Amino acid sequence: QQQQQQQKRRQEDQQPEQVPQGARQRERGQLRHQQHQARAVEQSDTAAAPRADVLFSVLLPLLDKLGKPSDGASRSGSGAALPSPDTPPSRLTPMGQRRRAAKPPNMPTRKTELYENCRLLAPDGATLCTCGRKKIQWYIERGLAELVCSEPPCARLIFEPRGRGNADDEYYLADKLNRCCVCGFAGDYLRHSVVPHCYRSLFPQCMKSHMSHDVLLLCQACQQVCGRADQARMAQLGERYGAPLEAASKKFELDYAAGGAKSAARALTGPRAGSLPPDRRAALEATVLSHFAADVLSAELLARACALQDKAPAPGWRSHAHVVVSALLAEPGGRGIEDFVRGWRAHFLEAMRPRFLPPHWSIDSRVANSAAPQAEGRQESQVVGPQKSQAEGHQGSQADRQQDLQAEGQQGPLAEGQQESQAEGQQGSQADR
């Protein structure tokens, strides 16, 4: 036995010492920690002398906020100008690249180009407006215009229009590029209303018809940044006009008892009604019965419960935009709505500092289209005076129809000779056209 024990001890001495699994993991963790510390020390040594591009990446956002040039002019003092509109997106400043990297993935973007820069000319050759290819094709197919140039498409009307369109506004006659007006990114972009759509939809018709000055293109990232700035300004307007944005949650009055009965009835008639536990089914049935004060649950009662209306419009509720626009239109002189639009334009320039705006875009550009004064009156009555009676609107429509009849010369029956002369005149006018 002593010999066996001695032999066993010799074998144990000859075998290597076994390390527990936990000890090995601790050793590996300590080794990785030491390597990480050594790497951090090396990086701190190399960062002691920062490179010029690292400094510029920090200073460029500050210079952009201060409105100073953020390109080679501020770096080397060589007098280089700001990035030209033709600068490719890959050479934009780090700010523009950072905005594109932070864009949300699921924002809807345009599938086609917004600006096609086609031109429509008057019979004397004066440019009336820029438009899309579909409008040019529409005039040509109906024989109202003739094609002057195929690329880019340009058509000349063969009749004298009632007005000269936008011939007096250089913004609507200039060519525009399909890119973000803030950073110049020419990829995915979408339409952005400088004046938020909730206000613009309530404007008089003369401020919306053929007025695209305040509709610009933004990339997804810039749209997200501008949306936050617009929300802050809308909150300030809500405090000024007594229309807080939180009032949108009070649009409906909720009936919680009806909502509970409706939800219980849907659960009892749904596809999983057979798998409900007995106690849960009993609670749902009790909810429906207590709402209708009934003793027996029937299929007709469940159908009535499923059709319950659990919310109703709050009486006298008006949206934030409706309160603000109504107050602006009620101001004497009509200057309130114009100052409101120009204030949003100034806000857009201050918040986003766009560098690629379309040519001739200006804060002081016209706000309304003077070619539609009658539409303005109709829209104004819809926004400001919803309390007007329907009888006044009916009388107004009758008066408009009478004026149209008088303008057309339909004041009474015509004699035979007058009818013949009128028919000949109509044929001659058709031939002229």
The predicted structure's pLDDT at residue 45: 53
Q: Beta strand pairing status for 153-157 and 118-121?
A: parallel
Tokens of 425: 């005149």
- Cα(252)–Cα(234) distance, rounded to whole angstroms? 22
Q: Can you give the length of the chain in residues?
A: 433
Residue pair 157/126 in contact by the 8 Å Cβ criterion: no
Residues of the chain with pLDDT under 70: 15-23, 40-107, 370-433
- Reduced to 3 states (helix: H, G, I; strand: E, B; else coil), residue 32 is helix
Whether 353 and 64 have beta carbons less than 8 Å apart is answered as yes
pLDDT at 421: 42
Distances (CA, A) of 36 to 25, 40, 43, 81, 353: 16, 6, 11, 45, 43
For position 211, what pLDDT does the model report?
A: 84
Residues forming beta bridges with residue 219, ordered by sequence position: 189
Rounded to an integer, what distance in angstroms lies between the CA atom of residue 184 and that of residue 84? 10
Rg (C-alpha) for the chain, rounded Å, is: 36
Q: How far is CA 32 from CA 25, 28, 40, 107, 197, in A?
A: 11, 6, 12, 43, 57
- Within 13 Å of residue 364, how many CA atoms lie on the same side as its CB? 0
Which tokens sit at 301?
A: 């009662």
Cα distances (Å, whole numbers) of residue 313 to 147, 219, 253, 316:
54, 37, 6, 9
Distance CA 144, CA 376 (A): 29
Instruction: Summarize pLDDT for 214-226 with one digit per residue, the tens.
Output: 999 999 889 999 9
> In sequence order, what are the residues at sequence separation of 6 or more whose Cβ sits closer than 8 angstroms to the Cβ of residue 81?
69, 71, 73
Write the burial class of residue 259 (CB in 10 Å: 0-12 exposed, 13-18 middle, 19+ buried): middle
**Of 123, 132, 195, whose CA–CA distance to 159 is shortest?**
123
Burial class of residue 130 (count of CB atoms within 10 Å of its CB; 0-12, 13-18, 19+):
buried
Task: State how far the Cα of 184 lies from the Cα of 178, in Å rounded to an integer.
Answer: 9
Q: Give the pLDDT score at 281.
A: 92
Measure the CA dihedral 359/364/367/368, to 10°.
-90
Euclidean distance between CA atoms 4 and 11, whole angstroms? 11
Handedness of CA 29, 35, 39, 42 (dihedral sign): positive
Give Cβ neighbours of residue 69 (< 8 Å, ≥ 6 apart).
63, 81, 82
Report the chain's terminal Cα–Cα distance, integer Å.
130
The reported pTM is: 0.55
Note whether 33 and 39 are within 8 A (CB): no
State both tokens at 114.
């917004």
> Order of strands across the sheet with 118-121?
127-131, 118-121, 153-157, 145-150
In the prediction, which pLDDT does 318 show?
86
Question: Which residues, 6+ apart, have CB-to-CB distance to 317 below 8 Å?
Answer: 247, 250, 251
Residue 212: CB atoms within 10 Å:
14
